[in-house]
Structure formats: structure tokens, C-alpha cells
């Protein structure tokens, strides 16, 4: 299963980068707030002037511009909103600034005068922008207009801390910050810094002439054109920017760590899947071996039954030949023909016995799977030949029934293991499909699906191992039982036929046992009398009666063998 978790990581990194860019744009927009405020103030001032012009009579509107500039009494100051100890010095400083701008001393600052001031005195590169901002549609700026604009300016509301920050960042004179703090210089006192006065040299102790000139130019710039970029920004925005960057870095670190843990977990899941596939292949190979062994066992059982049939036929032919020779020998009249017939009968019996011994030995070697001659002989004694007793037959059926029950239980175990294997494979396929989506890898890494699939894989692997171990043990155990008993168990007619045979054996057990006992007694007597007659006649021919005769029911003598 190939791993491609870098797609979600790259997507998250791009999102964080886009967030940082947006915050930077917001911070850049905040730098232009001062110019926007000045434009708004100028527009409001222009509207107020138009309203005042509409309310005033036509005679007052036709008065010369110098008439507005000549008002300097207490009534004029009160009409402009000048009052208090702090406003009067600032108003006087603003009057000096207006007088400095008004070259023709007509009471108004026109466009040419303000442009000349920006080019020559301030030497500002953004003169065109500041010029349009300063006038804002009003071609003539009076002292009252300038004072009202200053009262509405953002710089007018600066605190002591903001003034000191402007002194350090924009003016670049941090050595006077302590003096500004000590005298509580705020935004309302900024016009006093823009004109030559004892306030700079005596109160604030700015002794250097170049420093005073620099401070005056910077102060006049902020009084006339508003705060410079960067000074009027809010601390909340700066704090938000810092917090956003910190959150972005933390999110990136968290994404990298989660990606690493996801890769480690996926490697573990892949190893478990490989082990599960190996266990599945091992189980399949073992199952194939089982089917092959069962097929070989079936062929061997068929061959053994054919061999037993041939041995029975040969024994029957040998018995018929012996009976024929016995009949010929009984009808002979002289001793020589009887002896010849007896020798021929004995040779036929010996040939049949040797042939039977060779067939039995060949069968014993083929049945001896474990390599033990004694075990093979014991198995042949229980299940071989035609002398299988009723008890041995019932034992064979019961063992075959037991084997079939174990096979059914093994089938249930295997079905359960295969079901767990299929569930684990489906879970792995679901994870593989989710990984191909944009946020699928991130979702899988933060959910419990990986742990659940890993647990399913381990359970399926454990079940397959148990099924494989049980299959090996069952094969070895039943092969050993077949070797010891000497009859087939694994190859059987099936559970239905076995149960029917066992029911028939139980129903007729009493009569079958009595009949089998009577038949065995009669056969034993007939074989004993036949042995006595055979050995008696052979001994008559050979002349060794004392060594060849055996008691009834006893084994034959060494000479007869």
C-alpha cells in the first residue's frame, strides 16, 4: 500500500501561508488609516462649510477672505472651540504654522502656497498625495479650517505612549523619550513641537539645533497631514498578527508531528497486513497439501482393497486345488500314488503360503508410514486381511465419525477466520480510498480508524494462525491413528452413511454377535480337523509321524512347517 501523506501537509502549509499573507495585508491596510481619516475629515469639513455658506446671508458671503483671518479675539477663539490651558498654546502654534504657509498673508493657504511648502520646506517625495489630502477639494484653507481639521485629526487624540513611540520610530530620537514622558507630551501638544519655541529647548531640553529642526519638521508633517504609516496602528492588530503567526507555526508543527505519527502507524498496519497475507498463503498451501494427502490416501485405500481381493481369490484357488488333490489322493489305491498326491498337495499349500506372505509383507511395508515394522504389523493385524472383527469395524466407524465432526468444527473455525480477514481487508481498502482525498489523510491520522483496522488485522492474523496450527495437529494425529489401527479413517463414505451403519450395528448387535460366535466355532473345528488330516497323511508318507502330528487345536510341528 503506497503512502502519499504529503498532499494534506502541503495543503495545510499553503493555508497557513495564505493566512499570514492576509494578516500582512490587513496590517498594511491599517497603515493607510491615517490618510483615509484625513480624507474623511476634509470631506466633512467641506460639507460643514457649504452648510454654513447656505445659512449665512449673501452680504456676509461677499466679504473678503481677509475678514475671516482678522478675527483673533476671545469670541473668535470660543467660536473655534479653543478653551482651557492646553488649547491656547496649541492654537497659537497652529497660527504660526498657518502664517508660515500663507506667503501672501491674505489669511488663506491656497494650492500654490501649500505645494511650494511641501516641495521646498518639507522636501517630501509624496508631495502630490499629501497636497491632495491636505486640500481635499477646498482651495483656500483658513486658520479656523486648519484648527478644526486638527481637532478632528487622529494625532490630536494620541496618548503620551503613542507620542513617545512616534518619537522613537519616526523621528529616531529615542534619547528624548524620558523627557517626553516626564512632561506628559500628548497629541494635543504636537503643534507646539512644530514651531520654534522655548518649549523645545527649555522644557523638553532639546539642545541640539539639528535635533530641534528634525523634530519640528516631523511634528509639522503629522499636524498637517496626519500620522505616518505604522505609528497609528493599534496594539490589538499587532498582537493579533503575532498570535496568528504563532498559531500558524504551532499548527504547522502539529501537522508535521501528526504526519510523522501517521506514517509510523501506517508502516505498522502495512507490516501487519503483510503478516496476514503470509498467514493466508501458508493456510492455503497447507490446505492444498491436505487435499493432496487425502487423494493419495484414497488411491492407496483403493489399491489395498484390490490387493486384498486378489489375495482372497488366490487363497480360494489354492484351497480348491488342495481339495482337488485331496480327493484324488483319497481315490488312489496304492501307497505311491497317495504319497505323490500328498507331496503335490503340500507343495501347492506351501506355494500359496509363500505368495500370501510376500503379498502381506509388501502390504505391510506400504502401510508402515512411520517406519516402525512393529507398528505396521500391529496395524495390519487390526485392519488387514479379511479377519476384521465386528468390534474393529465399529471402532473404525466411530473414529471416522469423530474425524468428520472435527472436520466440521475446523470448517467453522476457518469460516470465522476468513470472515475476520475479509473485514480487515475492507477496512484497509477504506483507509486507502480516504487517503486519496484532500483532507482524507489528515482525517484518518486524527481518527481511531487506524487503531480499529490494526486491531482487526491482528485478530485475523491470530485466527489464521490458530486454524493453521489446528490443521497441522489434526493431520499428524489422524495419520498416526491410521498407522496404528491399520484401516482408513480420513477417507470415509460420509457422516450420513456412517451414522446409518452405526444405527444398523446397534440394532442387530445381539444377533450378529451370536451368529459370529457360532460361525467362528464351526470354522475352527473344520480347520483343526483339516490340519490333523493333512499333517497325518504327510507324516505317513515321510515316515516321521511322531514329529509331524499335532494335538487337536494346537499348532503344527516344526517338521510340518
Q: What is the pLDDT of residues 58-116, one digit of tens each?
A: 333 333 333 343 344 444 444 455 544 457 888 888 888 888 887 777 777 776 777 77
Mean pLDDT on 317-341: 69
More confident residue, 279 or 363: 279
pLDDT band at 42 (very low <50, low <70, confident <90, very high): very low
CATH value at residue 189: 1.10.150.50
> Is residue 274 included in any domain, yes or no?
yes
In this prediction, residue 136 has a pLDDT band, given cuts at 50, 70 and 90, of low
Instruction: Please tell me whether residues 376 and 483 are part of one structural domain.
Output: yes
Residue 106 shares a structural domain with residue 224: yes
Mean pLDDT (whole number) for 502-508? 79
**Do 473 and 522 belong to one domain?**
no
65 found inside a domain? no
Q: Does residue 15 belong to any structural domain of this protein? A: no
**Which residues 6+ apart lie within 8 Å of 498 measured at CB?**
397, 400, 401, 404, 492
Average pLDDT, the chain: 70
The pLDDT confidence band at residue 532, using thresholds 50, 70 and 90, is: very low
Residues 517 and 531 in one domain: yes
CB neighbours of 48 closer than 8 A, spacing ≥ 6?
148
In this structure, what C-alpha cell is assigned to residue 261?
505519527
End position of a domain, from candidates 507, 533, 551: 507
How many domains are contained in the chain?
A: 3
Residue 253 belongs to a domain: no
Tens-place pLDDT, residues 154-167: 889 989 998 898 98
Residue range 399-425: mean pLDDT, rounded:
86
Residues with Cβ < 8 Å from 532, sequence gap 6 or more?
A: 549, 550, 552
Average pLDDT over residues 1-25: 54
Torsion of CA 411, 417, 420, 425, to 10 degrees: -110
Q: Say whether pLDDT at 35 is over 50.
A: no
Q: Is residue 195 part of a domain?
A: yes
Q: Looking at residue 360, which CATH number applies to its domain?
A: 1.10.287.3550
- pLDDT, position 535: 37
- CA 215/CA 231 separation, integer angstroms: 16
pLDDT for 38 equals 40
My answer on whether 432 and 560 are in the same domain is no
* Cα–Cα distance measured from residue 362 to residue 266, given in angstroms and rounded to the nearest whole number: 60
Final residue of a domain: which of 462, 478, 507? 507
Averaged pLDDT for residues 214-222: 87
117 with 213, same domain: the answer is yes
Identify whether 559 is part of a domain. Answer: yes
For residue 376, the model assigns a pLDDT of 39
Q: Are 131 and 115 in contact (CB under 8 A)?
A: yes
Read off the pLDDT of residues 461-495 as tens digits, 9 standing for 90 and up.
888 888 888 888 888 899 889 888 888 888 888 88
Q: What value does the mean pLDDT take over residues 161-187?
A: 89
The predicted pLDDT at position 500 comes to: 85
Query: Of 84, 95, 71, which Cα lies nearest the Cα of 192?
Result: 95
Mean pLDDT, residues 296-324 taken together: 83
* Plot region of 557 (φ>0 → left; ψ -120 to 50 → alpha; else → beta): beta
User: Are 303 and 331 contained in the same domain?
Assistant: yes
Per-residue pLDDT for 511 more than 50?
Answer: yes
User: For residue 330, what pLDDT is reported?
Assistant: 63
Expressed as residue numbers, the domain containing 543 is 509-561
Same domain, 500 and 405: yes
* 358 belongs to a structural domain: yes
pLDDT digits (tens, 9 = 90+) for 368-404: 544 444 333 344 444 444 444 677 888 888 888 888 8
Amino acid at each position: 500500500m503506497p503512502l502519499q501523506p504529503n498532499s494534506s501537509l502541503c495543503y495545510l502549509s499553503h493555508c497557513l501561508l495564505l493566512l499570514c499573507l492576509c494578516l500582512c495585508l490587513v496590517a498594511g491596510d491599517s497603515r493607510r488609516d491615517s490618510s483615509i481619516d484625513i480624507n474623511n475629515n476634509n470631506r466633512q469639513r467641506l460639507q460643514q462649510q457649504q452648510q454654513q455658506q447656505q445659512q449665512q446671508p449673501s452680504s456676509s458671503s461677499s466679504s473678503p477672505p481677509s475678514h475671516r483671518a482678522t478675527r483673533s479675539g476671545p469670541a473668535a477663539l470660543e467660536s473655534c472651540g479653543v478653551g482651557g490651558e492646553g488649547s491656547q498654546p496649541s492654537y497659537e502654534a497652529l497660527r504660526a504654522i498657518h502664517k508660515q504657509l500663507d506667503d501672501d498673508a491674505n489669511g488663506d493657504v491656497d494650492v500654490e502656497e501649500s505645494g511650494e511648502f511641501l516641495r521646498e520646506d518639507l522636501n517630501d517625495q509624496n508631495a502630490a498625495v499629501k497636497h491632495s489630502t491636505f486640500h481635499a477639494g477646498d482651495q483656500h484653507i483658513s486658520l479656523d479650517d486648519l484648527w478644526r481639521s486638527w481637532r478632528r485629526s487622529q494625532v490630536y487624540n494620541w496618548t503620551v505612549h503613542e507620542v513617545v513611540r512616534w518619537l522613537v520610530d519616526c523621528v529616531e530620537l529615542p534619547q528624548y523619550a524620558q523627557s517626553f514622558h516626564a512632561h506628559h507630551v500628548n497629541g494635543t501638544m504636537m503643534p507646539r513641537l512644530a514651531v520654534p519655541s522655548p518649549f523645545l529647548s527649555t522644557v523638553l531640553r532639546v539642545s541640539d539645533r539639528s535635533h530641534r529642526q528634525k523634530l519640528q519638521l516631523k511634528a509639522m508633517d503629522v499636524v498637517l497631514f496626519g500620522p505616518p504609516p505604522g505609528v497609528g496602528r493599534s496594539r490589538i492588530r499587532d498582537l493579533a498578527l503575532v498570535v496568528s503567526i504563532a498559531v500558524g507555526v504551532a499548527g504547522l508543527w502539529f501537522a508535521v508531528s501528526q504526519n510523522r505519527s501517521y506514517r509510523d502507524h501506517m508502516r505498522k498496519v502495512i507490516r501487519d497486513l503483510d503478516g496476514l497475507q503470509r498467514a493466508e498463503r501458508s493456510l492455503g498451501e497447507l490446505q492444498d497439501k491436505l487435499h493432496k494427502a487425502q487423494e493419495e490416501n484414497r488411491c492407496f485405500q483403493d489399491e489395498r482393497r484390490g490387493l486384498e481381493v486378489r489375495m482372497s481369490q488366490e487363497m480360494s484357488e489354492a484351497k480348491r486345488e488342495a481339495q482337488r488333490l485331496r480327493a484324488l489322493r483319497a481315490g488312489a489305491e496304492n501307497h505311491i500314488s497317495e504319497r505323490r498326491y500328498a507331496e503335490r498337495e503340500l507343495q501347492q499349500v506351501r506355494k500359496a503360503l509363500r505368495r500370501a506372505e510376500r503379498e502381506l509383507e509388501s502390504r505391510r511395508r506400504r502401510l508402515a508410514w512411520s517406519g516402525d515394522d512393529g507398528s505396521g504389523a500391529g496395524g495390519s493385524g487390526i485392519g488387514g486381511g479379511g479377519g476384521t472383527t465386528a468390534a474393529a469395524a465399529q471402532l473404525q466407524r466411530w473414529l471416522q465419525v469423530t474425524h468428520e465432526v472435527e472436520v466440521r468444527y475446523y470448517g467453522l473455525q476457518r469460516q470465522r477466520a476468513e470472515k475476520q480477514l475479509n473485514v480487515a481487508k475492507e477496512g484497509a481498502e477504506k483507509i486507502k480510498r480516504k487517503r486519496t482525498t484532500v483532507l482524507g489523510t489528515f482525517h484518518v491520522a486524527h481518527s481511531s480508524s487506524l487503531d480499529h483496522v490494526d486491531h482487526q488485522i491482528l485478530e485475523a492474523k491470530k485466527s489464521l494462525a490458530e486454524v493453521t496450527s489446528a490443521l497441522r495437529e489434526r493431520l499428524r494425529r489422524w495419520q498416526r491413528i491410521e498407522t496404528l489401527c491399520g484401516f482408513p479413517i480420513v477417507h470415509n463414505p460420509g457422516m450420513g452413511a456412517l451414522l446409518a451403519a452405526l444405527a444398523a450395528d446397534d440394532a442387530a448387535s445381539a444377533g450378529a454377535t451370536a451368529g459370529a460366535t457360532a460361525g467362528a466355532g464351526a470354522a475352527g473345528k473344520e480347520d483343526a480337523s483339516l490340519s490333523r488330516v493333512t499333517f497325518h497323511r504327510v507324516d505317513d508318507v515321510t515316515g516321521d509321524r511322531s514329529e509331524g502330528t499335532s494335538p487337536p487345536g494346537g499348532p503344527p510341528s516344526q517338521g510340518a512347517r
